[in-house]
Chains A and B, each alone.
Chain A
Amino acid sequence: MNSEPLAARSSAAEQQARRGASIIELAGVGKTFGSGEQTVHALGPLDLAIEAGSFVSIIGPSGCGKSTLLRLIAGLETPTQGQLRRNGATLDGPSREVGVVFQDHVLFPWATILDNVMLPADVMGLPRQRALERAHWLLELTGLKDFARHRSDMLSGGMKQRAAFCRALLADPAMLLLDEPFAALDALTREELSLELSRLWQELRRTALLITHSIDEAVLLGDRLIVMSRRPGRISLDIPIDLPRPRDVNTENHPRFLEIKHAARDLLFAGERG
Chain B
Amino acid sequence: MAAAPFKSVIARATTPLIYVLLLILWEACVRFFKIPGWMLPAPSAIIAAAQDWAPELLHHSLVTLSETVFGFLVALALSLPLAILIAFTVTLRRLLYPILLGLQSVPKVALAPLVILWFGIGVLPKIVIVILVCFFPILVNVVAGLEAVPRAMLDLMHSLKASEPAIFRRLRIPIALPHLFTGCKIAITFAVIGAVISEFVAAQDGLGYLIMISTAQSQTPLAFAAIILLTLISIVLFYAVELVEKRFVTWTP
Interface membership of chain A positions 47-67, coded 1 if the CB is closer than 8 angstroms to chain B and 0 otherwise: 000000000000000000000
Interface of B, secondary structure class, is helix
A119 touches B158 (CB 8 A): no
A110 touches B155 (CB 8 A): no
Chain B neighbourhood of A102, CB < 8 A: 152, 155-156
Nearest chain A residue, comparing its CB with the CB of B162: A123
A95 touches B156 (CB 8 A): no
Chain A neighbourhood of B171, CB < 8 A: 108
**Interface flag for A100 (CB, 8 Å):** yes
Chain B neighbourhood of A96, CB < 8 A: 160-161
Given A110-B174, A151-B251: A95 and B152 within 8 A (CB)? Answer: no
Chain A neighbourhood of B162, CB < 8 A: 123
B170 touches A122 (CB 8 A): yes
Chain A neighbourhood of B250, CB < 8 A: 110
**Interface flag for B252 (CB, 8 Å):** yes
A123 touches B159 (CB 8 A): no
**Interface bracket on B:** 20 to 34
Chain A neighbourhood of B174, CB < 8 A: 108, 110
Q: Chain B's nearest CB lies how many Å from the CB of A95?
A: 7
- Of B156, B166, B170, the residue contacting A100 (CB under 8 A) is B156
In the bound assembly, the distance between CA atoms of A3 and B150 in angstroms comes to 36
- Of B156, B161, B251, B252, the residue contacting A106 (CB under 8 A) is B156
Most buried by B among A100, A123, A124, A151: A123
In the bound assembly, the distance between CA atoms of A94 and B251 in angstroms comes to 30
**Interface flag for A158 (CB, 8 Å):** no
List residues 42-100 of chain A with CB under 8 A from any CB of chain B: 71, 74-76, 93-96, 98-100
B160 touches A106 (CB 8 A): no
In the bound assembly, the distance between CA atoms of A95 and B150 in angstroms comes to 21
In the bound assembly, the distance between CA atoms of A29 and B158 in angstroms comes to 22
B159 touches A98 (CB 8 A): yes
Chain A neighbourhood of B161, CB < 8 A: 93-96, 123-124
**Interface flag for B157 (CB, 8 Å):** yes
Nearest chain A residue, comparing its CB with the CB of B177: A110
Given A104-B152, A122-B170: A110 and B157 within 8 A (CB)? Answer: no
**Interface flag for A20 (CB, 8 Å):** no
Chain B neighbourhood of A94, CB < 8 A: 158-161
**Interface flag for B22 (CB, 8 Å):** no
Q: Chain B's nearest CB lies how many Å from the CB of A145?
A: 22
**Interface flag for B111 (CB, 8 Å):** no
Q: Chain A's nearest CB lies how many Å from the CB of B173?
A: 10
Nearest chain B residue, comparing its CB with the CB of A99: B159
List residues 101-160 of chain A with CB under 8 A from any CB of chain B: 102-104, 106, 108-110, 119-120, 122-124, 151, 153
**Interface flag for B153 (CB, 8 Å):** yes
Chain B neighbourhood of A108, CB < 8 A: 153, 170-171, 174
Q: Chain B's nearest CB lies how many Å from the CB of A169?
A: 13
Q: Chain B's nearest CB lies how many Å from the CB of A199?
A: 24
In the bound assembly, the distance between CA atoms of A232 and B196 in angstroms comes to 65
Interface membership of chain B positions 137-176, coded 1 if the CB is closer than 8 angstroms to chain A and 0 otherwise: 0000000000000101101111111100010001100100
A106 touches B153 (CB 8 A): yes
In the bound assembly, the distance between CA atoms of A109 and B250 in angstroms comes to 9
**19 pairs, CB–CB < 8 Å, chain A vs chain B:** A71-B155, A94-B159, A94-B160, A94-B161, A96-B160, A98-B159, A100-B156, A103-B152, A106-B150, A106-B156, A108-B171, A108-B174, A109-B251, A109-B253, A110-B249, A119-B170, A120-B160, A124-B161, A171-B160
10 other contacts beyond A76-B158, A94-B159, A123-B162, with CB at 8 A cut-off? A98-B159, A99-B159, A100-B155, A102-B155, A106-B152, A106-B155, A110-B250, A123-B157, A153-B252, A171-B160
